[in-house]
Amino acid sequence: MVGPERPQFVLFGSSIVQFSYRHEGWGAILNDIYARKADILLRGYSGWNSRCALQVLDKVFPKDAAVQPSLVIVYFGGNDSVSPQPGGIGSHVPLPEYVDNMRKIAIHLMSLSAETRVIFLTAPAIDERKVRHFFGNNGRKNDLCRIYSEACLQLCKELSVESVDLYTSLKQRDDRMRDCFTDGVHLSSEGSKIVVREILKILREANWEPSLYWKSLPSEFANVISYSFVGPDGNTMPMVEPEFHEYMELEQ
């Protein structure tokens, strides 16, 4: 382990998580915002559904770990919601089983420690035209995404788990929704900014102690001054930590 110890934020999910560092993705943006404040750990598994997640839950999040995560952001649902294929192949998980799987995931994560916080991301809306172009008729439909998204939101309300309604957040961009995806399913930089905006809103407003909002967390080694620039007068100038002005639009 590399020190000093920082809060750990774990991103756990399927390809929306695994690919979150591509195309200026939401994982990369969070990693930038939380530089020197928290470690963002990626546990993304392309093609997985909630059934797959349950098989490894104890291995990814062992209850006897010396250090438990401060935050776990979970995304499963998009692959679960794909319509069932002949012979039972494919990633489809029936809605009642999906809800039960997500319940088990939430309960396990909340049991890790008294200070482990959890955020669920729901199944997002998709761009069906792009999906057909890239994947053909693969069983992905917005009507199904909406049903699984609503079920996830209802579960989170029942368990008092924070949630991001990705279906509604993306669907609200209906006039420009195609800009939110690279292939109709996976997020572009534009789509990732929507995800980060919703996550930051939760972190800013949640009544969590300690707060996990980036402005509330101390910067590592802030007392060590780095003289990296030489001014016009020949004197060294201290490097000032950036305030991430490029991301201020995500704080709206």
d(CA 135, CA 183): 8
The DSSP line for 187-229 is B-HHHHHHHHHHHHHHHHH---SS---GGGSPPTTTTS--EEE
Q: Kind of pairing, strands 117-121 and 71-75?
A: parallel
Residue 161 main-chain phi, psi, to 5 deg: -105, 135
Which residue in 14, 15, 163, 192 is the catalytic one? Answer: 14
Q: Is 175 a catalytic residue?
A: no
16 CB contacts (<8 Å, ≥6 apart)?
44, 75, 78, 121, 124, 186, 187
Nearest-10 Cα torsion for 107, 28, 42, 4 = -90
Tokens standing for residue 166? 């990705």
Which residue in 39, 108, 183, 189 is the catalytic one? Answer: 183
> Among 85, 89, 171, which residue's Cα sits nearest to residue 123?
171
85 CB contacts (<8 Å, ≥6 apart)?
92, 139
Q: Is 14 a catalytic residue?
A: yes
**Residue in this structure with the two tokens 């939760």, named with its chain if needed:** 202
Which residue in 70, 127, 186, 192 is the catalytic one? Answer: 186
Q: Is 174 a catalytic residue?
A: no
d(CA 226, CA 126): 46
What positions carry a catalytic annotation?
14, 183, 186
